[in-house]
Chain A
Amino acid sequence: MKSDRLYAWLLLLALLLGWEGLTHVMHFSALVLPAPSVVAAALWRGLVSGYLWPHLMQTLLELVLGLLSGCVLGFSSGILMAESPRLRSTLMPYVLTSQVVPKLALAPLFIVWFGFGTLPIVVMTALICFFPLMENTLTSLQQVDANRLELFRVLGATRAQTLWRLKIPAGLPVILAGLRVAVVLALVGAVVGEFVGASKGLGALIIAAQGSMDTPLMFAVLLLITLLGLTLYQLTLALEQWLLKPYTRTV
């Protein structure tokens, strides 16, 4: 286990060294493929000068707001649709249709509606996060063990008690798996949303770097986006492990 991790780091080091060497031997232009050292320098400059921070904060803000609103919305609609079969059969075709439309293709429309800035990107990120949460909540609440449902009937539990004390805790592992998917998708939503119409944020910065042919900066921003994604994913994983401790502990 420990040695596996060591190998992973060694592989990374080898890849970086190989990349570095290749750019020097082949004399690639920094415009096409900057060496890791050039990228690192660009990243360092951007961080120290404070140039990157407002963009990072902007993307983080959109990401968190979009993720929160999308997840809350997805979770609650999942519950409503699981509890009411009529609501489910009425709304499901609409939800499905709205999800089949590529949401990134809606970005220009959102800019018309909500103007440039934070709001259209938050809305789009929320739309993207909505589906995995709704789908997983709906599925997990419908799959509750029939014996446990019968137990709650024997105990005379109300519908609300059955929901809060049984269905949601029983479905929590599946719901949290949906959250993990949502976190990854949210980052894609925010960054690509910024491609289409934003003057601030990491996505906007990539487009700006492309315009000024600053490929090292572009790589530096990509690196930042990757780190942001990995951090958020690990945080979600930690939250999941903490919440699911009683479900998994066996000793």
Chain B
Amino acid sequence: MSYLNMQGVSYTYAGWPAVVRAVNWDITVGEFHGLIGRSGCGKTTLLKLAAGLLQPDAGQVTLAGAPVLQPGPKTGFVFQSPTLLDWRNVLDNVLLPIRIQRTPLEIEVERAEQLLSLMGLSEFHQHFPRQLSGGQQSRVAIARALILEPAILLMDEPFAALDAITREDLQNDLLALCRARKTTVFFVTHDIAEAVYLADRVAVMAHGRIRSDVRIDLPKARDSATRYSPRFNEICAQLRQAMDGVAA
């Protein structure tokens, strides 16, 4: 069953050539989709269109059949930088999406604490963002995006600034969390290996268009062995070729 659907979506920033051109893409409920491409290919814009942060000039974006006209609580968004509020402690940062709507219920505070525990941050509730490492801040940002239990998570290179080891840890935790909740994910990255490791399907974007659509036929359960399997490398090479092909 399709959840996020984009039909002929185009977008142009005033005074510039079109950034996103007639993109069709469809994400089935519970699937993890990666979107890769070079800097400036329009992938972040496409994600913002999916979130309702931008409205397409042409075409339509729908979530569970309903047109996306503005950002809503069904969508969780994780930015390139953690964008935490420095003056709020970790727990308050996670509860922010609820506070915007109303005072959090006790059960919601518990849910926030649970999410933080799942993220390995159970001892950091009262800490302020500045007191955390980059990886820990990213974890808080993910917990914040999940607090409203969104059906779909949109992620814009959330791990780009982290070191390789921390990134792998976060990738595993993210996969586990999303599988457990059956969250649909649309994940933008410029890292081919990251996309292959995380995703069920990967779109390659260039010059505003989706140029390639690759289903990742690796076993669902991924671990460090996956990263070194021959099939993993084959898919990476195939995607790399797809990216190079459009550059030439």
| A248 → B minimal CB distance (Å) | 7
The segment from B56-64, B76-84, B171-179 found at the interface with A is B76-84
Contact of A155 (CB < 8 Å), options: B71, B80, B81, B128: B71
Please state if B97 and A150 are interface contacts (CB–CB under 8 Å).
no
Q: How many angstroms from the CA of A250 to the CA of B70 in the assembled complex?
A: 37
Please state if B85 and A247 are interface contacts (CB–CB under 8 Å).
no
B100 beta carbon closer than 8 Å to chain A: yes
A5 beta carbon closer than 8 Å to chain B: no
What residues of chain B lie closer than 8 Å to A154, measured between beta carbons?
A: 51, 53, 71, 75, 77
Contact of B73 (CB < 8 Å), options: A150, A156, A161: A156
Report if A248-B53 is in contact (Cβ < 8 Å); known contacts: A151-B77, A169-B87. Answer: no
What residues of chain A lie closer than 8 Å to B70, measured between beta carbons?
A: 156
| B177 → A minimal CB distance (Å) | 19
Contact of A151 (CB < 8 Å), options: B72, B79, B88: B79
* A interface residues, how many (CB within 8 angstroms): 23
Q: How many angstroms from the CA of A246 to the CA of B130 in the assembled complex?
A: 8
A86 beta carbon closer than 8 Å to chain B: no
Please state if B131 and A155 are interface contacts (CB–CB under 8 Å).
no
Q: How many angstroms from the CA of A246 to the CA of B79 in the assembled complex?
A: 22
Chain A CB within 10 Å — which of B53, B83, B99 has the most? B83
Q: How many angstroms from the CA of A248 to the CA of B131 in the assembled complex?
A: 9
A172 beta carbon closer than 8 Å to chain B: yes
Within 8 A of A (CB), among B201-234: none
What residues of chain B lie closer than 8 Å to A208, measured between beta carbons?
A: none
Q: Mark A140-184, 1 if CB is under 8 A from B, else 0.
A: 000001011011111111000100011001101000000000000
Please state if B51 and A246 are interface contacts (CB–CB under 8 Å).
no
A249 beta carbon closer than 8 Å to chain B: yes
Please state if B128 and A246 are interface contacts (CB–CB under 8 Å).
yes
| B49 → A minimal CB distance (Å) | 13
Please state if A169 and B85 are interface contacts (CB–CB under 8 Å).
yes
Q: How many angstroms from the CA of A155 to the CA of B53 in the assembled complex?
A: 11
What residues of chain A lie closer than 8 Å to B99, measured between beta carbons?
A: 165
Report if A249-B130 is in contact (Cβ < 8 Å); known contacts: A155-B71, A156-B71, A172-B87. Answer: yes
What residues of chain A lie closer than 8 Å to B80, measured between beta carbons?
A: 147
Please state if A155 and B130 are interface contacts (CB–CB under 8 Å).
no
Please state if A145 and B131 are interface contacts (CB–CB under 8 Å).
no
Which B residue sits closest to A243, measured CB to CB?
A: B87
Contact of B131 (CB < 8 Å), options: A157, A161, A250: A250
Please state if B130 and A248 are interface contacts (CB–CB under 8 Å).
yes
Report if A155-B83 is in contact (Cβ < 8 Å); known contacts: A247-B130, A248-B130. Answer: no
What residues of chain B lie closer than 8 Å to A247, measured between beta carbons?
A: 86-87, 130
B24 beta carbon closer than 8 Å to chain A: no
Q: Could you jot down 20 A-B contacts, CB within 8 Å?
A: A148-B83, A151-B79, A151-B83, A154-B51, A154-B77, A155-B71, A155-B96, A155-B97, A155-B100, A156-B70, A156-B100, A165-B99, A165-B100, A169-B87, A170-B87, A246-B128, A246-B130, A247-B130, A249-B131, A251-B131
Query: What are the 10 A-B residue pairs with the smallest beta carbon separation, nearest first?
Result: A154-B77, A154-B71, A246-B128, A147-B83, A246-B87, A155-B100, A169-B87, A157-B100, A155-B97, A151-B83
